[in-house]
Structure 1
Amino acid sequence: MRAARGLFAERGYANVSADDIVSATGLTRGALHHHFGDKAGLFRAVFEELDAELTAELGSVAAGAPDTVGAMVVGVGAFLDFCRRPEVVRICLSDAPAVLGWETWRAIEAEHGLGLITGMIDRGIAEGVITPQPPEVLAQLVLGVTIEAALLIANSSDPEAARRSVEPALITMLSGLLVSR
C-alpha cells in the first residue's frame, strides 16, 4: 500500500498501471488481485488509510484546543492546511471521487470525518455554545461545507490564495452555529 500510495500521489490513479504497482512492490499481479481485487480496490484501501490518518491527525490538533470553539477554529485551519498537501489533493480530492464514484467517496469521507465533527457538535451543544439542533444533521452539513472548501483550494490555480480566502469564510459560516450572547 505504501508503494501504491506514493505512485498514486505522484502520478495520479489514471497514470499508474497495475504493472507499475507490482514492479514497485516486487509482488506479483496475482498477489495484487488476491489482496485487493484490482487496482481500484487497492486505490480504495489507500484512500481509506489516508483519510483515517488525516482524521486522527485532525482529532489530535483539535484535542489540544482549550475549548470546543477553539477546537473548531484550529480544526478548520488544520483541515485547510491538509488540503494543500499534494497527496491529499491528488488522492482524496481529485482521484477518489472519480475512481470510487461520488457516493462511495462521500460514504468513506463520512465514515472518518463525520464522527469527529458530530462529537465536536455534541460537546458544543452540551457546553451551551452551539445552538441545539440535531447533531447528525449539523455534522452532515458541516462535512459538506468543509469538503467544498477543500475542493475550492484543491482546484484553485492559486491554492495559497484560495486557502487564505476560504478560512475566514468558513469560520464565518460555522460561527452561525454558535449561541448568540
Structure 2
Amino acid sequence: MRPHGIRAQQREQTRQALLREGRRLFAGSGYGAVGLAEIVQAAGVTKGALYHHFTGKADLFRAVLEESQQEVARRVAVAADAHDDPWARLTAGCEEFLTATADPDIQRIMLVDGPAVLGWSEWRAMDEAASARHLADALSLLIDSGIITPQPVAPLVHLLSGAMNEAALWLASSSDPADLDHTKAALARLLGALRTA
C-alpha cells in the first residue's frame, strides 16, 4: 500500500475510534457529562487528532447523532422492505422505529441530547433527512392506492413522527417491559384509523 493510502486508512481509523468512543460515552453519561479529554483518552488519540476531524465536541456529537439516526433508518427500511403489501410496510416500519428507539443508548443520543445539544431546528432537519422522507413516501403510496383517505402528506408525516418520537421518550422512562408491546398496539390502532376500509 502506498504511503498516501496508509495515511488515509489511519485517518479513517482515528475518525471511527472517535465516533465509537464518543457514542459510547455520550450514551452512557450524557453529552454534558463528557469532556474532550475523556473522549480522546478513550479513543487513544490526541486532541489535535480530534480537531483534525471535528471542530469540537458538538461537531463530534452531531456525527454520532447522524450515525445513530442512519442506523435506526436502516433498521426501519429493512423491516418495511420485508413486506410487499404497502400497509404492512408502513406498520412494520413504524413498529421497528419504536423497537429501535427503545434502546437506551439511542434514546439518549437521538431523542434527549440531540435536540438539547444541537437545538430544535437543526435536530429536526437531521431527523427529517434521516427518516421523514421514507414515511412521506410510504404514506403517499397508501394515499395513491386508496388505502388512506386523500389528504396533504406533510401534516400527517409530522403528526405520526411526533407521536412516535414522544412514545419513544415515554418508553425511555418506563420500567415495565410490556409497555413496548402496549405502545405498538396503540400505534396499530392509531394507524388503523387512517385506513379507508
| 2:118 equivalent in structure 1 | 100
1:130 to 148, 159, 165: 148
Structure 2 match to 1:54: 72
Distance 1:2 1:76, change over 3 A: same
User: Does the alignment pair 1:25 with 2:52?
Assistant: no
2:182 to 140, 159, 165: 165
2:97 equivalent in structure 1: 79
Q: Return the offset for 1:172.
A: 1.6
Unaligned stretches of 5+ residues in structure 1: none
Gaps of 5+ in 2: 1-18
Match of 2:193 in 1: 176
State the 4+ residue runs in structure 1 displaced beyond 4 angstroms.
Answer: none
Residue matched to 1:140:
158
Q: Which moved more, 1:159-168 or 1:146-155?
A: 159-168
Supply the AA of the counterpart residue of 1:104: E
CA distance in 2, matches of 1:153, 1:101: 22
Does the residue aligned with 2:177 lie in a helix, a strand or coil?
Answer: helix
Aligned residues: 179
* Superposition TM-score, scaled by structure 2 size: 0.84
- CA distance in 2 between partners of 1:161 and 1:57 (Å): 21
Give secondary structure in 2 for the equivalent of 1:149.
Answer: helix
Alignment equivalent of 1:91, drawn from 109, 117, 123: 109
Quote the offset at 1:159 in angstroms.
5.0
Q: How far 1:164 moved relative to its partner?
A: 2.6
Say which is worse superposed, 25-34 or 60-69, in terms of deviation. 25-34
Structure 2 SS opposite 1:96: helix
Is contact 1:152–1:162 with CA below 8 Å preserved after alignment? no
RMSD: 1.6
Contact preservation (8 Å) 1:84, 1:159: no
Deviation digits for residues 85-115 of structure 1, max 9, x if unmatched? 1221221122212212222222211111101
The answer as to whether partners of 1:153 and 1:162 remain within 8 angstroms in 2 is yes
Do the aligned residues in 2 keep the contact of 1:77 with 1:167 (CA within 8 Å)?
yes
TM-score with structure 1 length normalisation?
A: 0.91
Larger Rg: 2
Aligned partner of 1:109 among 127, 144, 155: 127
